[in-house]
Amino acid sequence: MKKILAVALSTAMSAAMFTPTPALAGSTDGKIQIKLLGTGVLPDGSVKEVKNDTAGLVAGGVVTNTSANDNVVPTVAIEYFFTPNVSLETICCVTGHHVTISGGAAKGVVAVDNVQLIPATFTLKYHMPFGPIKPYVGVGPTLFIMINDRPSAAVKALGVTRTKMSSELGVAVQAGVDVAIGNGYSLSLDGKKYWVSTEATFYAPVAGGIALQTKHKLDPWVLSAGLAYRF
C-alpha cells in the first residue's frame, strides 16, 4: 500500500511540474477546479456467482476464485462548484489489469489478460470550510466501461477462444482534502471506495458456445494524490 501511494504521488507531482501556468488567474473561490493526480487502483474483488459452467472449470476444481492486480495511472479530475461548499466532480482515466486465478488447481495462472476499463464517475461533494484546509466527502454513480480484455495463453489452452467482461453501473463514495498553497493551487489527497460488479464470459466451442460465465465483484479502492488548480 505504501509503495502504491508513493508511486501515485510521484506520478502526480511529475505531471504538475510540466503543466504550463494557466492564463486565467487562480482563485480559492473559483467555480472550476482541475486536478492532475497519480492514482492507485486497488481491486478488492472475487467471484460471487457462477452462472454457467458448461466446461466444468469450477465444478472440477480448476477455478474457485479470482483476483485482479493493483495498478497506478495518471488521472484528471474536473470539478464545478455550485456554491463555495457544494461541487460536482468527474474523473478521467484508463486503468489496465489482469485477472489471476486465486483458488483451485490453476491457482496463480492468469485467466484474463489486458483488461482495460474506464471508471466513468460523477460525485456530488460537500467541502468543509476550514480556511486553507478543505476536507470533503462525496457520493455518486459510476459506470465501469470495459474497453478491452482477452483470454490468457493458459486459458486458451483449455479451449477458450475469447472473453467478454461486461460494463456495469455501481456507486462510489469518497473523502479527501485540498490544502491551499496559493494563487489558486492546492495539494490534493483523495480516496474513493467503489461497489461495482462485472460479468465475465469465457467463450469456447462447447454446447451453447460458453465454457464459463461468472459474476465478479470488483469493489476497488482508488487512492489519489496530486495538484489542484481552481479558477
CB 184 within 8 A of CB 28: yes
Judging by beta carbons within 10 Å of its beta carbon (0-12, 13-18, 19+), is residue 182 exposed, middle or buried? exposed
Report the pLDDT value the prediction gives residue 178, as an integer from 0 to 100: 97
pLDDT per residue over 197-210, tens digit each? 999 999 988 767 88
Q: Give residue-wise pLDDT tens across range 8-19.
A: 445 444 444 444
Which DSSP state fits 154?
Answer: H
Q: What is the pLDDT of residue 67?
A: 85
> What's the pLDDT tens digit per position in 90-121?
998 999 998 887 877 778 888 888 899 999 99
* CA-to-CA dists, residue 37 to 11, 14, 34, 140, 205, angstroms: 7, 10, 10, 20, 44
- The DSSP 8-state label assigned to residue 56 in this structure reads -
Checking if the pLDDT of 55 tops 80, the result is no
Q: What is the CATH number of domain 2-22+32-230?
A: 2.40.160.20
CA 60 to chain centre: 32
Range in 59-68, 92-101, 123-132 the model is least confident about? 59-68
Find all residues with CB under 8 Å of 131, minimum gap 6, and list them: none
